[in-house]
Amino acid sequence: MINKLKFWKTSKENDALEERINALKELPMPKHVAIIMDGNGRWAKKRALPRVAGHHEGMKRVRRITRLASKLGIEVLTLYAFSTENWKRPKSEVDYLMKLPGEFLGTFLPELKEENVRVQMMGYKDKLPEHTLGAVGKAITETEHNNGLILNFALNYGSRDEIVRAVKNIVHDVKKGKLTEKDITEANFSNYLMSHSLRDPDLLIRTSGEIRLSNFMLWQLAYTEFFFSDVLWPDFNEENLVEAIEVYQQRSRRYGGLKSEGVEE
């Protein structure tokens, strides 16, 4: 049994969700869930609000979804917060997005610490403003000894660039004599990626109805189960995460073999 969580207005709805959450615990949980949090702009547009209002609401959902992921015993939650392509957006929107990690962690870091969450970041530090790096760096340091959920923010992350840099670093290490050609294996290649300390995602969720990866974890998602939701990220709630995991638990992961193994134990 996990601690009681309050999700809905009526206790009946709450109980129904609690029941589904408890049922999830009977089957293997995805250990690493990655989410492409998309649809903030459309959420705001539907309400005749500026796009940044959608980003702010989306930030609050990060807290709710993190709380549930943590209660469910998920080991890693990777959240795509800003891509290397998102710099193409208007400066005012980029500036706002760069302030969100500071606001999020300024508000929620004490709670995250209490919940034993460990904050990490995956992305290029160059180009990120000092204040963003400062806020994230502080959270990383202050939670580095926690051993609960790893909350991994993909911030200024781009997968093709990550792969190209991995290749360059491998070439560098070969030239230095630290590595030989036969050392270059799939496992070793993974060590050169920014996700090197993490297992590959078991479940990828993308919100807002877009069916694409947008340069997210191309190598790591090779055998991940995908769940696409039409819900816009600022509307994505506990029930939506529960549904994604329910669907995941019904999948049969074969990894190219013939045997239907069900989800990984």
160 Cβ neighbours under 8 A, 6+ residues apart: 215, 218
Shortest reach from residue 189's CB to ligand IPE, in Å: 24
Q: Are 153 and 128 in contact (CB under 8 A)?
A: no
199 is in an annotated binding site: no
Contacts of 137-145 spanning 24+ positions with Cβ under 8 A = 138/105, 138/109, 139/105, 139/109, 139/112, 142/109, 142/113, 143/109, 143/112, 143/113, 143/117, 143/118, 143/119, 144/118
Identity of the residue, 39 or 101, whose beta carbon is nearer to ligand IPE in the bound complex: 39
54 is a site residue for Mg ion (CB under 5 A): no
Q: Report CA-CA distances (Å) from 126 to 85, 105, 129.
A: 14, 20, 8
Active site residue 86: yes
Active site residue 116: no
The binder of ligand IPE chosen from 2, 7, 8, 86 (CB under 6 A)? 86
Residue count (the chain): 265
230 is a site residue for ligand IPE (CB under 6 A): no
The binder of Mg ion chosen from 17, 21, 38, 194 (CB under 5 A)? 38
Closest CA to 198 of 162, 173, 161: 162
112 is in an annotated binding site: no
214 is a site residue for ligand IPE (CB under 6 A): yes
134 is in an annotated binding site: no
Identity of the residue, 38 or 57, whose beta carbon is nearer to Mg ion in the bound complex: 38
153 is a site residue for ligand IPE (CB under 6 A): no
208 is in an annotated binding site: no
- What is the binding site for ligand IPE (CB under 6 A)? 36-42, 80-83, 86, 97, 208, 210, 212, 214
Give catalytic residues, as residue numbers: 38, 86
